[in-house]
Amino acid sequence: MSKIVGRVIVTLTLRAFAALFVTFCASSAAGDPGTEREALIEETSVGEALAETAYPGWAYPKGYGQRPLVIEKHMLRGSFSVDAKRLGFEPVGGSNQTLVALDFGAAFSPLQNLEVGISSYRLGATPPKAAQGLIPILVSPSGDFGDMPLYGRYSFLRKDYVEMALDLVFVLPSNTNFATTFGVPVRIRARPRVTIDTGIELTVLTKSTGANLEFPVSGIFNITPAGFIFGESGFSFQNLGRNGITSVRASSVPDTNVAYPVAKNQAFLPLSVGGGYTVVLKGRVMMDVFARFGWNPFVYFNPPSGSKPVPAADTWFLGVSTVVYTRPLRSSVPIS
């Protein structure tokens, strides 16, 4: 009975927060009617990667690194990823295991500068977490359902060369634990083909209360308007102050919001690299296909008991993803 009551309270709280968030963003988007947002694509001072849009009449950048942090009004975005990661020292069934998950996500922009969705993929944020999404399916080490991250993002600063947004994420505990993330992603268009993503994320963990503090940094290089490569790193502080976390073994709290192996008050540096390609289909749909490989953690600043400072063999992950963008659903420009 107490669990049912708790779920009802969580549901009502989420709805209240969502209503407030949408109201705030709607009022901000209305703003001053005499103020116009700066153009994202400059015609005279940038390279080909910036100048090419998705399709004539669809003024959304094709270059992966040159896109805004928020999809355009009335656009839909869907994502699908196959993720595998080593669980390191966390024993499942008495031995180390590899987690494999199929994650589906979706996002929509109901208002200018506002994006909402249920997905672990958010442009410019920390890399997507395995076993999180609108439909997160755990395949290994056993079949199960993951967690569902409900999020809203509002872009409050959008210039030619820099953009900032606010993220609010509720991870619904359909498998492990409820968590709330507050984030400020920052996208810097340093060169016509070079983009740097950074920012800060604070995640409040509920069970055995604690927090994660992330400072992600990534660099994206558009080799062509369609092809891109990237590298991701940063600083990660996890399970800060979390009670009941003393080792990376069976006493650890299962949680899709933290990396393994990880103990209490853990500090480390993640590292990953990847690349992909973008195609546009008949002017209606744009699709990214990319892969990333890395380690999380890559280097511990304070390795937990039983782990090496560089635990590469125990913390690798691999992901292959497809992200699909639709033309704005209420576009006034006909498709040629």
pLDDT digits (tens, 9 = 90+) for 154-169: 999 999 899 999 999 9
Express each pLDDT in 198-223 by its tens digit.
999 999 998 778 899 999 999 999 99
- For residues 50 and 66, is the Cβ–Cβ distance under 8 A? yes
Express each pLDDT in 65-103 by its tens digit.
999 999 999 999 999 999 998 866 544 343 467 889 999
Express each pLDDT in 263-296 by its tens digit.
788 899 999 999 999 999 988 899 999 999 999 9
| pTM above threshold 0.85 | no
The CATH code of the domain at 48-326 is 2.40.160.40
- pLDDT averaged over every residue in the chain: 81
Sequence-distant (≥ 6) Cβ neighbours of residue 23 within 8 angstroms: none
